[in-house]
Amino acid sequence: MRLGSHYTVLMRILAVDVGTGTQDILLYDSDLELENCLKLVMPSPTMLVAQRVKAATRRRRPLLLTGVTMGGGPSQWAVQDHVRAGLPVYATPMAARSFNDEIEVVEREMGIRVIGEDEAVDLRRQGGQPDGLIELELKDFDYAAIRAAFAAFGLDLVPDALAVAVFDHGNAPPGYSDRQFRFDYLLERIRATNRLSAFAYLAPDVPPIMTRMQAVARTIDFEGPVLIMDTAPAAVLGATLDPKVTAQDANGGGRRETVFIANVGNFHTLAFRLGPGGIEGLFEHHTGLVSRDKLDGLVARLAEGTLRHEEVFGDQGHGALVFDRRPAALDSLVVVGPRRSLMRGSRHRLYFAVPYGDMMIAGCFGLLRAFADIVPEAAPVILASLGGARRPPPWELLA
C-alpha cells in the first residue's frame, strides 16, 4: 500500500507511544485482527539514557550529551547526580534543551557546560582514551533499535507509515511558565478544532514552538508519512475505542451523552470531559503531586463546571480549561494509564478502559485513530479495523 494512491487494501503502521516509564509499540497490520497485531512494552528512551548515565557515573567518566531535545525526568535526575559526584557533563545546545528550554538555566542550575558542535568534535576525539568521555546521543525515537528488536524475532520491519506520541510542554519564552505555555497551546488547538486529533500533525506541520515534536520529526529517517501527537490526548482517544466507555450500562446498552476520561501517566495526569459539544473541559496535573482524593475532587468539580484554572495551576499543576460550565452527570470515570491504580478506592464509579484488550497500548490505538483523521486516504482501512461501522458517540469526536 502506498498512501496517496486510490487503491488502499493493506496497510502497516508502526505506532510508538513514548512515555516516561515505557515506550509502548504496536505494529498495526490491517490484514490482522487488532488483538493479533505485534506489540512491545519496553523501557522509555529517557529511562535508557538514565541507565547509561548511571553506568558512566560508576566508572567515573565524563559525559558528552549530543543529539536533539528529548524527554527529561529520569535522564535529568541521573545527569544531576553525575554532576553532584564531581564529574563533568558537556552538552550541545539541542541536547541541553532536554532539561530546560533556557540554556542559561541548564548551565547555572544543573552545572552542565553547554558547548558548540565544533567543541563537541574536539571532545569526541578523546573518546577512545581509557579515561576519556562517554558520548550519549539523545533522542526520543530510535527507529534502528525498534527494527533490531523485531528482527530478533525474524521480522523485517517495513511499515507504510509511522505514528509517534511524545509529551511536549512547548518552547516557552524566557521567564514565561512552561505550564502556562502548554495550556495556552491546548486552548488554541481546541478553539481551532474541537476534537482529540487536533493534537496530532504530519511531521512537516508540527508547530515550531513544539520543540520535542520537532526533534522527533527531524530524527526520523523514513520516506513515508509520519504522524506526531501529544501522548495524553492519544491515550484518551484510544480509551474511547473501548465500546464500554460510551455504554450506559454494563451490558453495553444505550449511550452516554457525557464521558469523563482520565489518563493517569507516570509523570502527568490529564482528564477530559467529553460531551455533545466536543471537548467540554479538561485539567492536567503532575501525577507525583496528586492523590486519589485530590483527583476525585478535581474530577467532581470538572463535572460540576466549577473547576478553575487557577486552582490547578496554583497547586503546581498545568491548569484547567472548562468550556461548558453546566453541571454534567458523572455516571462513571473512565481511567487509563500506567498509574491507573492510583484511583482504586475512588468515590466515583470507575471503569478501567481496555481498548482491544490492552490498556498499555491505548495511546497507540489513539495514534491509529488520529492517523485516520489526518490522512483521509488511510481512513477506510483503519476505521474498518477499529470497528468504524459502529455508530459514533454523540460528541462526534470519532467521526
The pLDDT tens digits of the residues spanning 148-161 come to 999 999 999 999 99
At 398, is the pLDDT very low, low, confident or very high (cuts 50, 70, 90)?
very low
Q: What is the DSSP letter of 338?
A: T
Worst-scoring range by mean pLDDT, 119-133, 204-218, 338-352? Answer: 119-133
Answer with the residue of higher pLDDT: 191 or 246: 191
The bridge status of strand 161-166 relative to strand 12-18 is parallel
Q: Which position has the grid cell 526520523? A: 220
pLDDT digits (tens, 9 = 90+) for 274-324: 998 789 999 999 999 999 999 999 999 999 999 999 999 999 999 999 999
Q: What angle do CA 189, 296, 200 make, to 5 degrees?
A: 20
Q: pLDDT band at residue 389, thresholds of 50, 70 and 90?
A: very low
**Which cell numbers hold the place of 93?**
545546545
Whether the per-residue pLDDT at 117 is higher than 80: the answer is yes
- The band of 391, judged by pLDDT with boundaries at 50, 70 and 90, is very low
CA 101 remoteness from chain centre: 19
Write down all domains in the chain, each with its CATH number in brackets: 45-138 (3.40.50), 243-353 (3.30.420)
Q: Stretch 190-214: mean pLDDT, rounded? A: 94
Mean pLDDT in residue range 212-223: 93
Q: What is the pLDDT of residue 277?
A: 77
337, 262 Cβ separation under 8 angstroms = yes
Q: How far apart are CA 243 and CA 258, in angstroms?
A: 14
Quote the pTM value: 0.91
Distance in angstroms (rounded) separating the CA atoms of residues 144 and 312: 40
Beta bridge partners of 342: none
Per-residue model confidence (pLDDT) at position 131: 64
Q: Is 232 left (phi over 0), alpha (psi -120 to 50) or beta?
A: alpha
Res. 99: pLDDT tops 50: yes
